[in-house]
Amino acid sequence: MLVRITKSDTETQNLAREFASTLHAGDVLLLSGDLGAGKTTFVRGLAEGLGIDPGDVSSPTFTLLHEYRGGRLTLYHADLYRLDKTATDDLGLEETGVRDGVLAIEWPDRLSHDLAGARVIRFDVVEDVSRRITIDPEPPTTNC
């Protein structure tokens, strides 16, 4: 378990940028935390770390799943905030996660069932500009 306090959005982005170097194809990240806790900011850092322009990353509004190519791994970014549990079934996130890239999901509590091998990253607002970010350890690899 890795726990870090960041004191600005830049620090959160930098943490994610470093973390991105440890990611493998097929990794699924569940970004959990309140509105404004820093989930999308973290995804910008993931993009940067994978060699994708972080400016391309926006909060998905009408598009539920964004796909950013051109980096070391493709980055898939889902925001399930507006969905309910039945609607998330139709997104095909299982299939997305096991492909060539990394799948980062905001508001994963909207998922109707667990995604295999997913790793939770928790964002807690400590105060104004400080956030506690807790990254689950990498799950053991399964050979099946």
Tell whether residue 60 is a contact of ligand ATP (CB under 6 A): no
Quote the strand ranges of the chain, DSSP E. 2-6, 28-33, 65-68, 74-79, 101-106, 119-127, 130-135
Among 16, 28, 32, 39, binds ligand ATP (CB under 6 A): 39
Binding site for Mg ion (CB under 5 A): 39-40, 59, 106
Tell whether residue 59 is a contact of ligand ATP (CB under 6 A): yes
Tell whether residue 8 is a contact of ligand ATP (CB under 6 A): yes
Indicate the residue among 116 and 129 with the shorter CB distance to ligand ATP. Answer: 129
Tell whether residue 58 is a contact of ligand ATP (CB under 6 A): no
CB 48 within 8 A of CB 74: no
Rounded least distance, CB 117 to ligand ATP, Å: 23
What are the b/e assignments for 107-137, b being 16+ CB within 10 Å? bbebbeeebeebeebbbbeeeeeebbbebee
Q: What is the DSSP letter of 38?
A: S
Residues at the site binding ligand ATP, with contacts judged by CB under 6 A = 6-9, 11-12, 33, 35-41, 59, 106, 129-131
